[in-house]
Structure 1
Amino acid sequence: MTTPTPGSASEPADLIEPHTLRRTVLTVAGLNFGYFWVEVVVALAIGSVALLADSVDFLEDTAVNLLIFLALGWPIARRALAGKAMALLILVPALAAGWAAVSKAGDPAPPDVLALVVTAGGAVVVNGVCALLLSRIRHHGGSMTAAAFLVARNDVLVNLAIIAMAAVTWWTGSGWPDIVLGAIIVVVNVGAAKEVWEVATEEGLAAKALAGEQLEA
């Protein structure tokens, strides 16, 4: 995915003001952070590994959109530090969900199906709204806003998978569908945290290289 350059044929005709971009991604970050806590509380209450793992997606989206917000105003060195902090922030609940999956494997009791469906349904709504908001700016903020839109859109599919898993749980009366789906989401989220860390590391190296060039000049 490439970022359009000024004057290129792929550049949007109507540019969006920076404050509009920042307000949009900050709103999306707030929605994701708020629903992160909803999913965490419900997941712990009903013992759902998949829901706990999915809550990390909301934290990841919070981090990504905050990084976009900061990228429009912070120097690259500070963005790199913020990126690494957010990668660690994503990793902590992901590892907690992984531990929950391992612990629950010894006693695979099924989670409350109704609470699972209602919470995952709410997640579909939140991610759908975020995807709609980001769709309006995805061509105006470079590759990061485009990626944020795609992540929000794909998260809707994950939420629908959880609802489908709830149906399987109800049918089988087993907690294993929840554990298996939760483990899959955990692996994906650990990979996402790794990618955020790597991007932040690259930005940090670029900042050092730029500082060295300025000193030589």
Structure 2
Amino acid sequence: MAGCCHDDQCSQTTTPNSTRWRRVLWVALAVNAAMFLAEIVAGVAAGSAALQADAIDFLGDSANYAISLGVAGMALGWRARAALVKGWSLALLGAAVLASTVWHALAGTLPQAETMSIVGVLALLANVGVAVMLFRFRTGDSNMRSVWICSRNDVIGNIAVLLAAVGVFGTGTAWPDLVVATIMAALGITGGWQIINAARADLSRQAEGEVSSPPVEAT
């Protein structure tokens, strides 16, 4: 029956050190690193705050996947601590995007809508592919959930970039670009906070388990 699996198959899918999980992370890391390079160059060339914000997000996700690969197979506490670091990093990146958006607003930069559209479509296709691969891991531990949250935010951000390109083209102003960059910054901050809360919950569960475990008597 579709959507069902035996217990051993399900556990293999959601195990933090499973071959499938690590393979997906490697693919996601490669895609995000390549898209960061492409978008940061295009964003600077086009003068788009939204593209630059999305590029920074790709950079943050690359680090996210690299850290997840590093802690795969470790104890829950270490995976939760890694997720905590990623949560704070994502929130700080969101704050950096917000600061960059303010700078673009003050500078009065008018982005190139055509470049935004082309790069935005490529980024959307890349992120949808990654999100589809990560969807089955969305209910794992805080580390797995952190990866899924970042991927989900990427897809939302890419759609927003495309809408910004349409807005810039239609209005001839930079405001759609600035509004979308602000929304993406907010997504980064709120997504980071969700990851932080999940990581703290995992750390609390681990601490409770250690306290409740009876001490081992010396023989």
TM-score for the superposition, normalised by structure 2: 0.76
Q: Deviations over 1:75-109 (max 9, x none)?
A: 01111221122123223332221011112222332
Query: What SS is found at the alignment partner of 1:143?
Result: coil
Q: In the alignment, does 2:118 pair up with 1:118?
A: yes
Q: 1:199 to 1:153 in 2, by over 3 A?
A: closer
Indicate how the Cα distance of structure 1 residues 168 and 80 shifts in structure 2: closer, same or farther if over 3 A, else same: same
CA 24–186 in structure 1, closer or farther in 2 if over 3 Å, else same: same
2:196 matched residue in structure 1: 197
CA displacement at 1:120 relative to structure 2 = 0.8
Partner of 2:165: 166
Identical columns (%): 23
What residue is the counterpart of 1:94 in the other structure? 94
Match of 1:128 in 2: 128
Tell me how far apart the structure 1 counterparts of residues 115 and 138 of structure 2 sit (CA, whole Å): 38
1:43 and 1:142, CA in 2 relative to 1: closer, same or farther beyond 3 A? closer
Bigger CA drift: 202-211 or 180-189?
Answer: 202-211
Query: Unmatched 5+ residue regions in structure 1?
Result: 1-9
Aligned-CA RMSD value:
3.1
1:186 partner amino acid: A
AA aligned to 2:177 is D
Determine if contact 1:108/1:176 at 8 Å carries over to the other structure.
Answer: no
**Larger RCO: 1 or 2 (CA < 8 Å, sep 6+):** 1
The answer on whether the counterparts of 1:59 and 1:90 sit within 8 Å (CA) in structure 2 is no
> How far apart in 2 are the matches of 1:76 and 1:177?
42
Greater mean alpha carbon deviation, residues 72-81 or residues 13-22: 13-22
- Equivalent in the alignment of 2:19: 19
Q: Deviations over 1:93-145 (max 9, x none)?
A: 3222101111222233211222212211210121132134335xx1xx46146
Residue 177 (structure 1) shift: 0.8
Query: For the residues of structure 2 that align with 1:215 and 1:30, how far apart are their CA atoms?
Result: 45
Secondary structure at the counterpart of residue 165 of structure 1:
helix
Q: Return 5+ residue gaps in structure 2 as ranges.
A: none
Measure how far apart 1:61 and its partner are.
4.5
Q: Work out whether residues 71 and 78 of structure 2, in 8 Å CA contact, stay in contact via their aligned partners in 1.
A: no
Name the residue aligned to 1:3.
none
Q: Which residue of 1 aligns with 2:155?
A: 156
User: 2: CA distance between counterparts of 1:70 and 1:11?
Assistant: 30
The match for 2:139 among 143, 164, 169 is 143
The answer on whether the counterparts of 2:57 and 2:93 sit within 8 Å (CA) in structure 1 is no
| Aligned residues between the structures | 204
Q: Is the 8 A contact 2:71 2:82 kept in 1?
A: no
Contact 1:49–1:101 under 8 Å retained in 2: yes
Tell me, in whole angstroms, the C-alpha distance in 1 between the residues paired with 2:152 and 2:81. 27
